[in-house]
């Protein structure tokens, strides 16, 4: 696999990982914007804007956009997080240039008022849908509690109120500040011609204006508050714990991910033996999420409401034991093997590679090959993990509990 790189004069970065043996190719625009870049008045605008990109340009209506993607057989979609908005498509190699050209057009949308009004209904339905999914609701509420006034606590979806009162003009203003070429990366993986991609980008994107975009990158360790939200309509207690982890810029993030796996993988982890295996909780998972300048360990626990305090007691004991005795060589080796096989399987498809490729550039402006990921995982030592445990102290956490249980 070859890595290729080029930058247009206006700052648009184009990167590619070419694999001539692949049966498909994937392409995506990674835009460095998300909920953390919003003010409370426009909460939810990044995600709403992601929907509006599909509504077309001065030359293409919304229905024409959908038909154009489908004519290429594209597996396409987009997602918005606290800090990125990503548009992607996977296609057969013969359609790659066409689908890349379509995305380039859509990155300069019309944002028409009538499309804006209809799509507002869809966004409000999406907010309602997540209200009926407590496992998402608890994560969203817990993130807000943990990050407090730090921008990473902002809700991606926004609220009924913020979305209802949002205007198309506010969205257009946000778009002009965030969708600048110097704040975007065009990434491509699989079987494709990088030179041709760059020529197309030069033709379609060179006129986009550079804008000065900034983001505050303060780390934040968390509020460590606890909150209970009682909902008698729920059958289970849904609990989310957050504690500080490492940022995407920190080379020790591989060690932090391994620590998350040792503690909360769905098979053979400390949570598994302490909670799932003895049937105290049907779901007990922990993972490390590294973000821009900060990071957090997330735990999600789902259990019988009457067992919630016993579950939390076990979790506290797991963290106390971890602080006292660290992890064993065999636990670390096992976690490495699980992570290495996951990396191998994911990278066998161009779409699996695209996301790693794009995010490595968005966060660190660097290419990280699969082999470099593998080497970084293999290089993590017991001492690295011990140092992290002492520094990050996962036993001190923010907690949000949602369910019928009042406490």
User: Phi first, then psi: what are they for 371, rounded to 5°?
Assistant: -65, -40
With respect to other proteins, which residue has the nearer C-beta, 126 or 384? 126
Q: 103 is written with which tokens?
A: 């995305």
Decide: 18 and 187 in contact? Cβ < 8 Å.
no
Among 169, 217, 273, 375, binds other proteins (CB under 8 A): 273
Q: 92 is written with which tokens?
A: 């057969």
DSSP for 335-380? HHHHHHHHHHHHTTSHHHHHHHHHHHHHHHS----HHHHHHHHHT-
Stretch that binds other proteins, among 73-81, 197-205, 359-367, 375-383 (CB under 8 A): 73-81
d(CA 191, CA 196): 12
279 binds other proteins (CB under 8 A): yes
Stretch that binds other proteins, among 41-49, 126-134, 240-248, 378-386 (CB under 8 A): 126-134
Q: Which 340-369 residues touch other proteins, going by CB under 8 A?
A: 340-342, 344-345, 348-351
In the stretch 224-263, what mask flags binding to other proteins with x, by CB under 8 A?
---------xxxx-x-------------------------
Question: CB burial class (10 A; 0-12, 13-18, 19+) of residue 384?
Answer: middle
| Residue 202 neighbours by CB under 8 Å, 6+ apart | 8
191 binds other proteins (CB under 8 A): no
User: Residue with structure tokens 């780390």?
Assistant: 219
With respect to other proteins, which residue has the nearer C-beta, 165 or 337? 337
Q: What is the nearest approach in angstroms of other proteins to the Cβ of residue 68? A: 8
Decide: 118 and 168 in contact? Cβ < 8 Å.
no
Q: What is the nearest approach in angstroms of other proteins to the Cβ of residue 403? A: 8
With respect to other proteins, which residue has the nearer C-beta, 151 or 260? 260
User: Phi first, then psi: what are they for 215, rounded to 5°?
Assistant: -150, 135
With respect to other proteins, which residue has the nearer C-beta, 14 or 351? 351
Q: What is the nearest approach in angstroms of other proteins to the Cβ of residue 240? A: 14
Helical pair 253-264 and 329-346, crossing angle rounded to 10 deg = 110
With respect to other proteins, which residue has the nearer C-beta, 157 or 315? 157
114 binds other proteins (CB under 8 A): no
């Amino acid at each position: 696999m070859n890595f290729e790189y080029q930058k247009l004069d206006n700052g648009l970065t184009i990167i590619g990982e070419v694999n001539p043996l692949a049966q498909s190719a994937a392409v995506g625009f990674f835009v460095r914007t998300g909920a953390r870049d919003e003010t409370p008045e426009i909460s939810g605008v990044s995600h709403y804007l992601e929907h509006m990109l599909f509504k077309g340009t001065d030359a293409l209506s919304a229905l024409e956009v959908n038909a154009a993607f489908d004519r290429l057989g594209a597996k396409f979609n987009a997602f918005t997080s606290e800090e990125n908005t990503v548009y992607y498509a996977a296609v057969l190699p013969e359609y790659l240039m066409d689908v890349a050209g379509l995305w380039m057009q859509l990155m300069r949308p019309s944002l028409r008022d009538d499309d804006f009004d209809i799509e507002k209904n869809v966004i409000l339905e999406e907010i309602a849908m997540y209200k009926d999914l407590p496992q998402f609701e608890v994560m969203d509420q817990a993130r807000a509690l943990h990050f407090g006034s730090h921008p990473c606590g902002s809700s991606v979806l926004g609220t009924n109120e913020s979305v209802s009162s949002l205007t198309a003009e506010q969205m257009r203003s946000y778009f002009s500040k965030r969708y600048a070429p110097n704040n975007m990366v065009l990434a491509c993986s699989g079987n494709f011609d990088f030179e041709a991609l760059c020529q197309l980008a030069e033709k379609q994107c060179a006129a986009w204006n550079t804008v000065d975009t900034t983001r505050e990158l303060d780390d934040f360790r968390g509020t460590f508050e606890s909150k209970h939200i009682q909902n008698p309509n729920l059958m289970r207690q849904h609990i989310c714990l957050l504690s500080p982890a490492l940022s995407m810029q920190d080379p020790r993030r591989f060690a932090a991910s391994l620590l998350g796996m040792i503690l909360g993988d769905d098979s053979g982890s400390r949570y598994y033996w302490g909670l799932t295996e003895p049937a105290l909780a049907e779901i007990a998972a922990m993972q490390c999420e590294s973000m821009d300048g900060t990071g957090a360990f997330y735990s999600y626990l789902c259990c019988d409401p009457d067992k919630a305090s016993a579950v939390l007691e076990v979790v506290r004991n797991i963290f106390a034991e971890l602080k006292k005795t660290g992890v064993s060589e065999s636990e670390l080796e096992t976690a490495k093997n699980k992570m290495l096989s996951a990396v191998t399987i994911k990278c066998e498809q161009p779409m699996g590679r695209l996301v790693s490729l794009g995010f490595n550039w968005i966060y660190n402006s660097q290419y990280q090959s699969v082999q470099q990921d593998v080497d970084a995982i293999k290089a993590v030592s017991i001492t690295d993990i011990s140092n992290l445990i002492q520094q990050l102290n996962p036993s001190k956490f923010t907690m949000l509990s949602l369910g019928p249980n009042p406490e």
